[in-house]
Amino acid sequence: MERYDAIVIGLGGMGSASAFHLARRGQRVLGLEQFDLLHELGSSHGLTRIIRLAYHEHPSYVPLLRRAYELWHGLEAVAGEPLLITTGSLEGGPEDGPTFRGALEAARLHDIPHEVLDAGEMRRRYPAYAGFDASTRVVFQADGGFLLAERTILAHVNGALAAGADLRFREGVRSWEAVPDGGVRVTTARATYDADRLVICAGPWARQLLPSLVELAVPERQVLAWLQPRRPELFEPARFPVFLVDVEEGSYYGFPVHDVPGFKFGWYHHFREPIDPDDPDRSAGPDDEAALRAFAERYFPDGAGPTVMLKACIFTNSPDEHFIIDTLADAPQVSVAAGFSGHGYKFCSVIGEIMADLAVDGSTRHDISLFSLDRFRPGADGPLRPVARP
């Protein structure tokens, strides 16, 4: 039986980063992934992910974001390629709405350079933003942009392998258990492995490994659209900041054209459909396309050309839409990162560092109190403010 310092279950965005940071600290790491290295059955595919600094979800995320930016740039140096594309970000909606107020609060509290733009100024600077009414206010932050999702996973995987990690794909975990020596034993379809520590980054499958997460990390179907712009020059990265906006139809987010000839965007929580992650069907149909196209036609008419592609993925939502990052009370050698609720990918680099901290030291210098499992205990106060969506 092979013995490791740490086993990481799941090698998507969070797990690959965790394996990378553990291996770079000299740990003997085993990474286990049930699917291929790059696959479209979880939450880490789709070419691009937004990164933004004026974070409306809660001001406590901003210090983690600053460290995430440092680590993403460090990963670029390791990989020898650009992984974070800066476009600026626009975050807002109605002036009294949660996204605008939250982004402005975070920017002011953390002294983040920013501007407040009304709909007219936003349209003047960025003509693609043509359909927003006079009630719209956004926080512009110059450091916003997007990450290359698959490329960042590959960079973390390649870096982990170069540092000596043992990464195994198409090897799903059947079970794990804490063992009397204070370590863990993990059983897959192929073998059994022992380790001192276990790191669970299994995305929508986390609750299959931790029954305590059944009601705390709930998978939801999400669909993204890429539409061919009628005026593609308006949707290039230099002229189109990433956005997150509240409108009367809901909350939407989007990206400039990159890699494929399509303006990419999504509707937070889409149809609010639960999904069984073991169901291989990730198809998107006419209803998905119609709902997304209606948004583009109203707010980005120059972007609402022919559909280039639709892709489904999975959000894994916690009850308050804040992350779950903690060690287990009854097995402190086991740490879990789950419930990223559709806004976690930008943090992969720093969460990898945090999970390595928890596995090696049992604690981290980063403030992760907002993400504690204890907040869900009966009688607990819970987070200061849940994520609000119109």
Structurally, how many domains does the chain consist of?
A: 2
- Residue at which a domain ends, from 317, 337, 364: 317
269 a catalytic residue: yes
Same-domain pairing of 138 and 225: yes
Q: Name the catalytic one among 21, 24, 45, 114.
A: 45
Residue type, 88: G
Predicted pLDDT at 156: 98
Same-domain pairing of 304 and 155: no
Establish if 68 belongs to a structural domain. no
110 a catalytic residue: no
**382 — pLDDT class (breaks 50, 70, 90):** low
pLDDT in tens, 73-118: 999 999 999 999 999 999 999 999 999 999 999 999 999 999 999 9
Same-domain pairing of 305 and 332: no
311 a catalytic residue: no
- 43, pLDDT greater than 80: yes
Mean pLDDT score, 363-390: 81
Q: How many CB atoms lie within 10 A of CB 163?
A: 18
Same-domain pairing of 120 and 240: yes
Same-domain pairing of 112 and 230: yes
Predicted pLDDT at 386: 57
Same-domain pairing of 156 and 170: yes
Name residue, tokens 């807002």: 92
CA gap 311, 385 in Å, rounded:
31
Predicted pLDDT at 390: 54
- Return phi, psi of residue 140, to 5°: -95, 130
**380 — pLDDT class (breaks 50, 70, 90):** confident
Structural domain range at position 242:
90-143+218-317
The encoded tokens of residue 42 equal 């979880």
Q: Name the catalytic one among 24, 48, 316, 327.
A: 48
**187 — pLDDT class (breaks 50, 70, 90):** very high
- 171, pLDDT greater than 90: yes
The encoded tokens of residue 259 equal 């890699």
Same-domain pairing of 362 and 329: yes
CA gap 317, 315 in Å, rounded:
6
Predicted pLDDT at 385: 56
- The alpha-carbon radius of gyration of the chain (Å, integer) is 21
CA gap 98, 245 in Å, rounded:
10
Q: Name the catalytic one among 99, 346, 348, 375.
A: 346
**264 — pLDDT class (breaks 50, 70, 90):** very high
β-sheet bridge partners, residue 51:
145
Establish if 20 belongs to a structural domain. yes
Establish if 36 belongs to a structural domain. yes
Same-domain pairing of 177 and 30: yes
- Return phi, psi of residue 142, to 5°: -65, -25
CA gap 127, 232 in Å, rounded:
12
Same-domain pairing of 123 and 185: no
Average the pLDDT over each of 123-132, 173-182, 211-220, 376-385 and give the range with the smallest value: 376-385
Predicted pLDDT at 207: 96
Establish if 51 belongs to a structural domain. no
264 a catalytic residue: yes
CA gap 28, 7 in Å, rounded:
9
Classify 4 in phi/psi space as left (phi over 0), alpha (psi -120 to 50) or beta: beta
CA gap 150, 13 in Å, rounded:
8
230 a catalytic residue: no
45 a catalytic residue: yes
**307 — pLDDT class (breaks 50, 70, 90):** very high
**362 — pLDDT class (breaks 50, 70, 90):** very high
Q: Name the catalytic one among 264, 270, 311, 343.
A: 264
- 248, pLDDT greater than 60: yes
48 a catalytic residue: yes
Same-domain pairing of 157 and 306: no
Same-domain pairing of 283 and 334: no
CATH code at position 115: 3.30.9.10
Same-domain pairing of 9 and 136: no
Q: Name the catalytic one among 269, 322, 343, 375.
A: 269
Q: How many CB atoms lie within 10 A of CB 272?
A: 11
The encoded tokens of residue 306 equal 């022919």
Predicted pLDDT at 53: 96
Predicted pLDDT at 379: 75
CATH code at position 13: 3.50.50.60
Q: Name the catalytic one among 313, 316, 327, 375.
A: 313
The DSSP symbol for 385 reads S
Percent of the chain's residues with pLDDT above 70: 97
Average pLDDT, the chain: 96
